């Protein structure tokens, strides 16, 4: 009904069929949109966060520890706070260290084989290469003697293996220090620990008293700096031989590697140095999570030979 009160009948309206040109244009545009979407999806599927080798290792080219960062403070990398210790558990963040045999004969050459398994108990095969290696394995007896820093190799099925000799009877602790790479590229840095057994009479050694100097194979290593609970402090190591400074070489991409183990529970901290020498010395930044006695193990390389200097420090 219009404004004049007259009812008017509107004739039926039938839809007008589009012509062939319009249909053809719509099909072309739809095909282009579909192609773009498929290309984007394939690109996302193929993204892996870095170059991958035949056994699924990925290069973390920017994986460094700049001054002022603590052990495994990896920014967006998950599961490791600056002051946390690692290696206290065989399982963390859904990953499990699974040894394929853990008994050794003291003093006899053997082999350690293990896998890192995910929450579905599948062997993990994608690891980031951190400081030149995808896996760092630390082995030490529970009295903190017999330190070894090893680098296993991985088979395509995710089984790691490394020659290993436990020189003395006792219970030994093995730490697997690694960074996994998930399907979406997320990296998770972890340190998992497991006990190894060398049967026989175990005679634990007393931890050496704290000292500022250590000697190893004709080298003298001076240590300065005192770790503090919850505070990131510098630790400096100066290496000399016959009173002169030797030419330090990069080992695993750095001038030194430092592992700190806490007496008692054997909590683990792996710390990396500043990228350059500081007045000829190797400087680290370390935060410890609590008081106690710690054993420090410093790896350094001169003339192609890696040596380890050891220190005891007390944190009050």
pLDDT tens profile 163-196: 999 999 999 999 999 999 999 999 999 999 999 9
Q: Is the pLDDT of residue 70 over 70?
A: no
Query: Are 155 and 230 members of one domain?
Result: no
Q: Write down the pLDDT at residue 56.
A: 60
Query: Are 82 and 157 members of one domain?
Result: yes
Q: Write down the pLDDT at residue 61.
A: 40
Closest C-alpha among 224, 189, 171 to residue 82: 189
Q: Is the pLDDT of residue 216 over 50?
A: yes
Residue 95, in any domain of the structure:
yes
Task: Report phi then psi at 162, rounded to 5.
Answer: -160, 140
**pLDDT-derived band at 246, boundaries 50, 70, 90:** very high
Query: Are 190 and 240 members of one domain?
Result: no
Q: Is the dihedral of CA 130, 64, 288, 299 positive or negative?
A: positive
Query: Are 163 and 247 members of one domain?
Result: no
Q: List the domain range (segments joined by +) for residue 146.
A: 57-198
Specify the CATH number for the domain of residue 282. Answer: 2.60.40.1930
Residue 92, in any domain of the structure:
yes
Q: Are 300 and 251 in contact (CB under 8 A)?
A: yes
**CA-to-CA distance for 45 and 48, rounded, in angstroms?**
8
Residue 125, in any domain of the structure:
yes
Query: Are 109 and 218 members of one domain?
Result: no
Residue 294, in any domain of the structure:
yes
Place of tokens 């998992």: 192
Residue 50, in any domain of the structure:
no
Domain total of the chain = 2
Residue 184, in any domain of the structure:
yes
**pLDDT-derived band at 19, boundaries 50, 70, 90:** low
Q: Is the pLDDT of residue 269 over 50?
A: yes
Query: Are 80 and 138 members of one domain?
Result: yes
Between 67-81, 82-96, 102-116, 217-231, the lowest mean confidence (pLDDT) is in 67-81
Query: Are 182 and 246 members of one domain?
Result: no
Query: Are 152 and 62 members of one domain?
Result: yes
Query: Are 233 and 293 members of one domain?
Result: yes
Closest C-alpha among 275, 233, 219 to residue 252: 275
Average pLDDT, the chain: 81
């Amino acid at each position: 009904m219009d404004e004049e009160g007259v009812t008017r009948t509107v004739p039926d309206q039938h839809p007008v069929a589009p012509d062939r040109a319009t249909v053809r244009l719509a099909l072309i545009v739809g095909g282009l949109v579909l192609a773009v979407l498929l290309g984007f999806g394939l690109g996302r599927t193929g993204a892996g966060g870095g170059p991958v080798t035949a056994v699924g290792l990925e290069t973390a080219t920017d994986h460094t520890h700049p001054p002022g960062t603590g052990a495994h403070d990896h920014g967006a990398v998950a599961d490791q706070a600056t002051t946390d210790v690692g290696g206290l558990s065989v399982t963390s963040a859904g990953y499990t260290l699974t040894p394929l045999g853990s008994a050794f004969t003291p003093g006899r050459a053997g082999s350690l084989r293990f896998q890192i398994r995910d929450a579905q108990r599948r062997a993990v095969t994608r690891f980031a290469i951190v400081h030149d290696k995808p896996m760092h394995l630390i082995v030490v007896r529970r009295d903190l003697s017999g330190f070894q820093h090893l680098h296993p190799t991985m088979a395509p099925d995710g089984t790691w293996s490394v020659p290993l000799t436990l020189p003395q009877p006792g219970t030994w602790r093995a730490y697997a220090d690694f960074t996994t790479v998930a399907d979406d590229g997320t990296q998770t840095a972890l340190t998992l620990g497991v006990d190894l057994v060398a049967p026989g009479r175990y005679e634990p050694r007393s931890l050496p008293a704290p000292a500022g100097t250590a000697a190893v194979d004709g080298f003298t290593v001076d240590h300065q700096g005192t770790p503090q609970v919850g505070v990131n402090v510098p630790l400096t190591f100066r290496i000399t031989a016959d009173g002169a400074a030797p030419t330090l070489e990069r080992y695993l991409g750095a001038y030194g590697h430092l592992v700190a183990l806490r007496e008692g529970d054997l909590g683990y901290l792996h710390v990396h140095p500043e990228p350059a020498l500081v007045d000829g010395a190797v400087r680290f930044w370390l935060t410890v999570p609590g008081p106690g006695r710690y054993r420090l193990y410093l790896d350094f390389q001169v003339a192609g030979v890696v040596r380890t200097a050891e220190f005891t420090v007390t944190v009050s």
